Amino acid sequence: MSEGPLGTAKQTRMSAVQAAITNTKMAGAKLWNAWPQLIETGVKQAERSAPAGGGNVPEIIPDGRSFDQIKKVHLRTLGDAAGLGGPVTAGNLAEARRRLRDQYVAAGRANYKGLLGGNCTLFACCVIGMLADQPDLLGKGVKVEVLNLLDTTGGSGHAYVVVGRADGDVKDIKTYGPDCFFVDQWYARHRGTEPGVLAVKDATPGEKGNRFWDFDFYAFIDDATIPALRLAFTSDELPGLGV
């Protein structure tokens, strides 16, 4: 992607992704599992909340998880979800993973435009579906990941999307690099003013006036948490998934 009026390719991508989310019902979707500690002063939690509804996220097998790391009790469930006609085995693990990844993106594609409410897992899935459905938002050769915070202070785990992370330790946010940004519409729905209300969050402060730098969000995901990789894609492969 060439540089746009905001300067760097990353800034162009961030603006494009934010505008795309604003043009969907995700922009005003309700929270199934609002966290009171994230509600910004002046925001009424009851007005942002709704009971859990439809649009569940399909099962996945996280990238990097070996057959031996999958609990035996889950093998049949995952096999059924993948349509294998039986449990996941060492021999069919790769096929199960491929099918479940495809189903995950398909669910995101199907739900992102009209999402009325969700938990963080569904919001993240919808963001992935949107990026698959609108490949021009990122352009070519961009890494796209779904991460999960395994030990979130005051919560029970949290899923969000990371774009353009540099190779390195996923547990160390300081290594994510200058091209990285986050997309977390679930978090944004807890907030009432900028930059909090923006789903797109820069991973680095950048220059003064960077509207996508949200220190409170950065602190939220960096405070007593253990980020773990769930799924990794590239912007080149996403358009071919879930169709």
- Residue-wise pLDDT tens digits, 67-106: 999 999 999 999 999 999 999 999 999 999 999 999 999 9
- The three-class DSSP label of residue 104 is helix
Structure confidence at residue 132 as a pLDDT band (50, 70, 90): very high
CA 27/CA 148 separation, integer angstroms? 22
Count the neighbouring beta carbons within 10 Å of the beta carbon of residue 183: 26
CA distance 196 to 211: 10
pLDDT value for 208: 82
3-state helix, strand, coil in the chain (%, to 5): 40, 15, 50
Q: What is the pLDDT of residues 176-212, one digit of tens each?
A: 999 999 999 999 999 999 999 999 999 999 878 899 9
pLDDT above 60 for 10:
yes
Minimal CA–CA distance to 21: which of 126, 145, 105?
126
Nearest to 243 by CA among 59, 141, 110, 131: 110
**pLDDT score, position 101:** 98
Q: Tokens 């039986």 sit at which residue?
A: 86
Please, how many CA atoms are within 13 Å of residue 48, restricted to the half-sphere of its CB? Answer: 24
Q: Which residues pair with 149 in a beta bridge?
A: 158, 227
Torsion of CA 1, 234, 152, 23, to 10 degrees: 50
Which pLDDT score, from 0 to 100, does residue 3 have?
Answer: 46
Mean pLDDT across 8-22: 97
Cα–Cα distance, 154 to 203 (Å, whole number): 22
Torsion of CA 178, 184, 189, 190, to 10 degrees: -70
Per-residue tokens: 115:
């999402």
